[in-house]
Structure 1
């Protein structure tokens, strides 16, 4: 079985001049990519990096980040990708918590002790003694499949970011599941939209297409106004994004009619995508949306709507082969009657644990089951329907209210682009639901209209006591709506 660290060697041996990876500045063939990886590995080794070490990379989306990742794996080291938009204090927490031995960046203003990316990936600056391009393929016997590969930090929306430890076996298993689930092959070409400090961007948009024999293009910072020009230029067969990206693309002026004929499908993850938004995107751009579900602790994805169908908007699809996805009650009993409970996942993709947090790990992975913190149920066809996050549940006068149910109703209003519901403190009832709504461009809707719309479909206790119409939602670095900030807005308003 191919060890993931061997991938650059194997691709170069099979097709030296074939396309491999590119970004906004250059394109590398397979042999060129291998040479970059070898140079970077030699440079890292010259700076003392070896098996068991951690390399922190503070870079925007660019192909050098992928080169460094493979170079570190070649040495038996792990990588923790750091969001370059973090403050110095936030970045320092991740770098120190991960015990990174070196920090690679292109920002000279970062703290002393960092290593300029050019010193690692530029062939003219690489350390002497780099292996020649004709050198032997990496000996898989020297590479442990359980070696730590990635330390991905959670977004921190529920507290201090935690380091999710993923080993090479986790990553390899997840890539195989993605390749099989999406039907990827050597003709596939992904356009990376999501940030490379997020596991979805790494696994779905880079590693999986490369392992399938295809290619990847790393896009720079996402801008809705220029995105389709990048699609027309690169001619990818798919991209993976979050609902916010699709909402922005749907909101483009009507005269924007791009050539999307190269796209076989597009993928949505990280947060549930409203069925209405899926329909709007598919009707406008004539590209099917394949929605999935997963989390960093599960190395990315656990369910997927099958690309060949049937796809069921409003669900996040079927469990990926190789994983077991179930629903449990509060006592740990598996529910198989279609009722709602906590979504749990078991399989070779489940993380090794949270770095330095054994108690947190023990609470999250119990008897091999990863407890996701999401509430869901399976429909009659075995498709997973997400009800909401457990922590987002609103308790109004002793009654449990799931915000997603209210959000789903708001999304059915023709003027609504995005909706998010949070609980607001109430001196009598404990909590009451408050909705934040972003209208479609050019649409005019009042809070009163939206409240009346909810009354037509929801029980009285679920109707929002307040609807705040706004131009945009606060988001975390991955693009998910930041409900913690919405709650503070409600409290402070």
Structure 2
């Protein structure tokens, strides 16, 4: 089954399946129109003489045309490569070269990030209009289940982005078995479509007879407005988004305004980052009639969990019960034995085939079809799973993976930085924030603000250290390695001391 054929599952062609609020005024798109747009885009790409499995990059903020390319590329037998708009030009260039992308489609805002020698079409230009003016393909290209459909990049432990290879079978299995959207549901999508949270939510909606209300970007006020205007029944997003929404409503109430009517929301799905019990309670109070769920999934394997097979109620911050179509193991990192506490391994038709051009990394993370997630979990006596943390040092800030080594390498490119160690510190809004201990080069005078500005200029904004401490020495543990645990504790103490 071609990924593009997910658009053929809607029971009625005349029903609105997309409300595109990135457009002014918002555009309503029916099932037949959305499918035709994708097939027109696919026809335009095919007319360029691109060979099967050619990589097509998309660098754009949320917009209705995003779906044209997301489904149009695989409809033409090509491979869709979503690009993170928050990455700097240097990293974009690396990804484009690594993936052998032959054409980039972008919006005008992000066009400057595309290398000048790369074939490039900007949405909204005459060239884009020509691309989507072709007669639509009569049907999506015939594909093998194991053909690559999507190559999506995720940061590696060394900071180099890794291309996750997802087949048509990987994607369609996940969408059709996930069961998170129901016919007639109105789903609000505001996270970036290059992110698995938003792209998977959209596919689930389109494949199951639901309607997507798409925001061009997230703001708390825009999120609330969309819910009330369109009577949204299902919300999805990362914990930070929901924290900002609850804060916005609290601020309005404190200013004497009425609480907005969010009674239409029946389900709230929070994922892509750890969910605290406090935020769960805040969201539940905000949406008392809704079922609030703590979601889990990785780019490499989205589907792991579902409801309890015996119908038992889900504990509030559990990530779920083992899905019946998925195999799961918890492996003790020290002994390698199965346990009720350990690293989550998953095996299913939804697991990636590997990392692009990284056979050694693939071999480390895939064993006989078992994907080693790197996430530590526990399982209770009823079979409910709970997220504990990462096996390695990676941490999550507002849904974005941050790898200390990558940030440290970037900081140490500053001529005044001799050594840098990046650790997480707790944050009520974003879960965790990066903080840095920095040792200056001898003879250099270095300020915390200078380090922060260097980070903002040379890496994604979400990864820049919010706290920087200039130190004389970096402490070592008894193993002669950096005492990261000690620095994590020290950073937490310093942040508390600085708090009002």
* TM-score (structure 2 length as normaliser): 0.75
Task: Work out the number of aligned pairs and report it.
Answer: 413
- Paired position in structure 1 for 2:471: none
Report if the CA contact (8 A) 1:36-1:67 is conserved.
yes
Cα displacement (A) at 1:82: 0.7
Structure 1 residue 288 corresponds to structure 2 residue 287? no
The within-5 A match list for 1:396-407 is: none
The within-5 A match list for 1:62-81 is: 62-81=63-82
Report if the CA contact (8 A) 1:43-1:119 is conserved.
no
CA–CA distance in 1 between the matches of 2:143 and 2:280? 42
Match for residue 207 of structure 1 among 199, 203, 207: 203
CA–CA distance in 2 between the matches of 1:237 and 1:114? 38
Partner SS, residue 38 of structure 2: helix
Shift in CA distance, 199/471, structure 1 to aligned 2, threshold 3 Å: farther
- Once superposed, what is the RMSD of the aligned Cα atoms? 3.2
Report if the CA contact (8 A) 1:323-1:345 is conserved.
yes
- Paired position in structure 1 for 2:122: 116
- Paired position in structure 2 for 1:480: none
Report if the CA contact (8 A) 1:57-1:105 is conserved.
yes
Cα displacement (A) at 1:38: 2.3
- Paired position in structure 1 for 2:274: 272
Structure 1 residue 131 corresponds to structure 2 residue 158? no
Report if the CA contact (8 A) 1:292-1:304 is conserved.
no
Cα displacement (A) at 1:120: 8.9
- Paired position in structure 1 for 2:194: 197
Shift in CA distance, 120/263, structure 1 to aligned 2, threshold 3 Å: farther
- Paired position in structure 2 for 1:177: 177
Structure 1 residue 167 corresponds to structure 2 residue 167? yes
Structure 1 residue 426 corresponds to structure 2 residue 475? yes
CA–CA distance in 1 between the matches of 2:271 and 2:103? 31
Report if the CA contact (8 A) 2:55-2:101 is conserved.
yes
Shift in CA distance, 194/419, structure 1 to aligned 2, threshold 3 Å: closer
Cα deviation, 1:346-395, whole Å, max 9, x if unaligned, reads 1111101001100000000012111111112211111112221111399x
Cα displacement (A) at 1:332: 6.9
CA–CA distance in 2 between the matches of 1:65 and 1:39? 13
Report if the CA contact (8 A) 2:145-2:169 is conserved.
yes
Cα displacement (A) at 1:428: 5.7
Match for residue 16 of structure 1 among 13, 17, 20: 13
- Paired position in structure 1 for 2:331: 328
Report if the CA contact (8 A) 2:43-2:76 is conserved.
no
Structure 1 residue 4 corresponds to structure 2 residue 3? yes
Shift in CA distance, 7/292, structure 1 to aligned 2, threshold 3 Å: closer
- Paired position in structure 2 for 1:39: 40
Structure 1 residue 246 corresponds to structure 2 residue 242? yes
Cα displacement (A) at 1:191: 1.1
Cα displacement (A) at 1:468: 0.5
CA–CA distance in 1 between the matches of 2:171 and 2:44? 25
Cα deviation, 1:470-493, whole Å, max 9, x if unaligned, reads 999xxxxxxxxxxxxxxxxxxxxx
* TM-score (structure 1 length as normaliser): 0.76
- Paired position in structure 1 for 2:416: none
- Paired position in structure 1 for 2:321: 318
Partner SS, residue 389 of structure 2: strand
Cα displacement (A) at 1:102: 0.4
Cα deviation, 1:74-122, whole Å, max 9, x if unaligned, reads 1111111112232211111111111111000123433332112236996
Shift in CA distance, 260/367, structure 1 to aligned 2, threshold 3 Å: same
CA–CA distance in 2 between the matches of 1:58 and 1:325? 35
Further displaced range: 168-177 or 239-248: 239-248
Give structure 1 stretches of 5+ with no counterpart: 395-409, 436-461, 473-493
- Paired position in structure 1 for 2:355: 354
Shift in CA distance, 386/7, structure 1 to aligned 2, threshold 3 Å: closer
Match for residue 228 of structure 2 among 216, 227, 232: 232
The within-5 A match list for 1:334-345 is: 334-336=337-339, 338=340, 340-345=341-346
Structure 1 residue 188 corresponds to structure 2 residue 185? yes
Shift in CA distance, 196/155, structure 1 to aligned 2, threshold 3 Å: farther
CA–CA distance in 1 between the matches of 2:392 and 2:361? 16
